[in-house]
Structure 1
Amino acid sequence: MSGHGSPLAQPLQRPSAGRIAVYAGLLLLGALTGLAGALVQAGWFPGGLLLALAGAAGLFLGGARAARGRGGAVAPAAGWMIAVIVCTAGRPEGDYLFGAGGGSYLFLLGGMALAVICATLAFGRQPVGPDVRLGK
């Protein structure tokens, strides 16, 4: 064997400090986007909902491009999800950040759907070398 096998057959490498910093930054940006979207989506319905979802989708796809892989979409999606779940929890006083309206559910479900779509459609690693094309 020449060693030009599948990328999955290659040994795992430890991520660099720069890549970890990029993912941590994307996680933080995702949490901030989720918090901002939670506040905006109900304030200017339906424009705020569309603005919040467009911002989340832009961050997810931008993260995938910045990190050159699916992990760049997953990191901000995880931060977004954590922030939104924390915002949905009620406080002991009985206060809620989200109302029980349809816009809140559209924000939650739409954001989750966008996270899955962006992570699935993000640019994955492409194989390199002479074995990439069939028939050669």
Structure 2
Amino acid sequence: MSANPLHRLIGSQGQRLAEPLPPRGLRFAWYGLVFLLGAVDALCGCFVQALWSPWGLLLALAANLAVFYGGLRLTATKVGLTCALVGWLLVMFVLLAPRPEGDFVLSSSANSYAYLLGGLVTGLGVGLLPTRAPYAFGIPRQRD
């Protein structure tokens, strides 16, 4: 066992393959929950990154990392991460569009672009972490 705390948090592929999958019904409930958490994270992150520049940007990106990694680990599948990322992206698309009155939530500033790009990179980076996938080839299927 490594003494590195980051290695203990992330784990190896062998450790993730040894973890049991949550029951199917519970997994689907968690997919919905992490979708909503991703949407709320996007909404809150847009305001936090604009209010407390530059520390708000770091806080918003840390929240993205927590939601995306939490979705990955909670469901033990990459679908959990995908649900959180899709919820985040859908809200971001809505908030990027200007309103007819001329109002907008995300301005065309470096902070807003850094939040958008940083959130995407964070989500894709978490997707590279090892996890058990119920439909991966070469992994024995676990009965729910």
Same fold (TM over 0.5): yes
The structural deviation recorded for 1:124 is: 3.0
Deviation string 1:29-84 (CA, Å, 9 cap, x unpaired) is: 10000000001001111100000000011110111110011111111111011111
Q: Secondary structure, in 3 states, of the residue corresponding to 1:57?
A: helix
Distance 1:68 1:86 in 2: 29
Write the mapping of 1:47-86 to structure 2, written as runs, cut at 5 A. 47-86=55-94
With the length of structure 1 as denominator, give the TM-score of the two structures. 0.78
Distance 1:108 1:51 in 2: 14
What code does the residue aligned with 2:96 have?
T
Aligned position for 1:120 = 128
What code does the residue aligned with 2:49 have?
Q
Please say if 1:97 is aligned against 2:114. Answer: no
Write the mapping of 1:35-50 to structure 2, written as runs, cut at 5 A. 35-50=43-58
The structural deviation recorded for 1:99 is: 1.3
Distance 2:69 2:42 in 1: 15
What code does the residue aligned with 1:80 have?
W
Q: Secondary structure, in 3 states, of the residue corresponding to 1:35?
A: helix
Distance 1:124 1:37 in 2: 29
Aligned position for 1:16 = 24
Cα RMSD over matched residues? 1.8
Aligned position for 1:28 = 36
Q: Secondary structure, in 3 states, of the residue corresponding to 1:37?
A: helix
Say if 1:69 and 1:122, in contact at 8 Å, map to a contact too. Answer: no
Q: Secondary structure, in 3 states, of the residue corresponding to 2:47?
A: helix
The structural deviation recorded for 1:122 is: 4.4
With the length of structure 2 as denominator, give the TM-score of the two structures. 0.74
Please say if 1:108 is aligned against 2:119. Answer: no
Structure 1: 5+ residue runs without aligned partners?
A: 1-14, 130-136
Percent identity between the aligned chains?
Answer: 37
Distance 1:18 1:66 in 2: 10
Paired residues in the alignment total: 115
